[in-house]
Structure 1
């Protein structure tokens, strides 16, 4: 019995030691030291929760306005006030969070998937494939991303999928360049050369050796990419090319508030404040991830 207990205790100690050596565990320890990143992560989690449950907890339907409560200031009935057609601003913001997350996360994933696939392909294959992909990267990097997205919205329309593609397609170049540079640094490593000698396919090498080693850098890029796409969504809405009303969005609310800021400032303060805090929170998280996964790399 004593021997069994000692063996069990030894196994637990080994598992704990292995966990402590895990790069993700070490990264989490470094991340927790970045207080603003932890605060930002808490806000981002709250933002996602609000986006998921918002339609079920919103006190009013975003499509229905109360014409007897037009442009009312914050009160117990409408804690963020109402707009010029009697929409409850708190409910509008909850629905706007959901819309923003659908488009921003969807667009970021489109950019990410295209960029990672092309970056891996360019880095592993080299030669003509690398040259063609990198010329495409150079071309996309010279184009104003917002203008390109604006043109695509005009061509595709103003629905969810249209905006996801319009914002996501122009954004792949940065991910592709980063992944390619990381792959080039690992392509001639001992483990990769050994896998090639054993006849491993390029897909196996990419899945087994490349992707796990670029996870940290990709997490940082995603954390920076989502707030960038959030800002683009708001910009498109301000130009009248965002989600089609009556679907609420932060850009639509900010555009409307600009015409009424002197008489009804709450129309600007609440959506602009929440939107600005959210962008900062994502940037704090990205900064914390960068320090966690690349502690010596800095900015």
Structure 2
């Protein structure tokens, strides 16, 4: 073991920790972020196993138990058609995660490619890509998604593309700014001197150094995509019934809030807690990966 000699005698050299360990130590001090992470983990687990633990299929309607309040048979009650609300929520979590994660991946891939290209190439490519970013920010992304759903149709795949395609601009702008700060660094200059191509420099040297910032950005992007999916469903451009979604359930609950309040309380409560949990996690990650984050 390496030692350091001082007047008090041999002293063990301080142990060096990885950036992941230091980041997790800062993250774990944020109790809201940890609580949010626990809920997000539960949300993901339920999204995976939900269809297998649901007491009823989302297609099974009990016409003799319409408008039934919470009971042992129907934990969260039934809706106006006789669908079990608890089962509907379990399936909604599954579809919400599929769409949100798919849309986030689409946004991320497009944004990373264009952001790296703009930052490394510069010149006319940078100008064109950044004007595209300005255009995407000027156009409300929700309305862009609405247009794409009209063109592509309803369903899981079209909704992933409709929500994901307008979301690339934020990732591209962030990646470009990070690349510009590293473009003339010693490591990149050495790679250029050895004849490395732009694509090799981008994915070998640039991308690994921006992963931390991108993880934070992704954590903020997922709740936005969840909200966008619910918004599309509320305006009637989401999944086709009887496939359930939080947006469809909230839209139907709004028409029956006075007589059957459980139709709103349960899906709205779970959806709100989920969004807050993702935001708490994102805030914790931002603090953990921040160079100014305290120990």
Output the TM-score relative to the length of structure 2.
Answer: 0.94
Structure 1 residue ranges (4+ consecutive) displaced by more than 6 angstroms after TM superposition: none
Match of 1:149 among 131, 141, 145: 145
Deviations 1:200-242 (Å, cap 9, x if unpaired)? Answer: 1112211221111101110011000000010011111110001
The equivalences for 1:1-299 within 5 A come to: 17-18=15-16, 20=17, 22-296=18-292
Equivalent residue, structure 1, for 2:8: none
Cα distance in 2, alignment partners of residues 141 and 47 from structure 1: 30
Query: In the comparison of the two structures, how many residue pairs are matched?
Result: 285
User: d(CA) in 2 for partners of 1:207 and 1:119?
Assistant: 12
| Residue ranges of structure 1 left out of the alignment (5+ in a row) | 1-5, 7-12
Deviation at 1:32, TM superposition (A): 0.5
**Higher mean C-alpha displacement, 77-86 vs 282-291:** 77-86
Unaligned runs of 5+ in 2: 2-11
CA distance in 1, matches of 2:141, 2:80: 33
Mapped contact 2:229–2:247 kept (Cα < 8 A): yes
State the alpha-carbon separation in 2 of the partners of residues 295 and 255 from structure 1.
Answer: 43
Indicate the RMSD between aligned Cα atoms, in angstroms.
1.7
Tell me the distance in 2 between the aligned counterparts of 1:94 and 1:193. Answer: 52
Q: Which has the higher helix share?
A: 1
How far residue 195 of structure 1 moved from its aligned partner, in angstroms, is 1.0
Report the Cα distance in structure 2 between the residues aligned to 1:161 and 1:43, rounded to whole angstroms.
Answer: 26
The answer to whether the 8 A contact 2:26-2:293 is kept is no
The alpha carbon displacement at 1:17 in A equals 4.1
> Does the Cα contact within 8 Å between 2:30 and 2:284 map onto a contact in 1?
yes
1:226-261: CA deviation from partner (whole Å, max 9, x where unpaired): 000100111111100011111000000000000100
* Aligned-partner Cα distance in 1 for 2:221–2:125: 26
Cα distance between partner residues in 2 of 1:295 and 1:115: 24
Deviation (angstroms), 1:134: 0.7
Tell me the TM-score normalized by structure 1. Answer: 0.92
> How far did 1:24 drift?
1.4
Contact 2:70 2:76 in 1 (8 A): yes
Deviates more, 1:268-277 or 1:130-139: 130-139
CA distance in 2, matches of 1:40, 1:247: 28
| Distance in 2 (alpha carbons) for counterparts of 1:57 and 1:46 | 14
- 2:230, 2:248 within 8 Å by CA — same for their partners in 1? yes
The alpha carbon displacement at 1:53 in A equals: 0.3
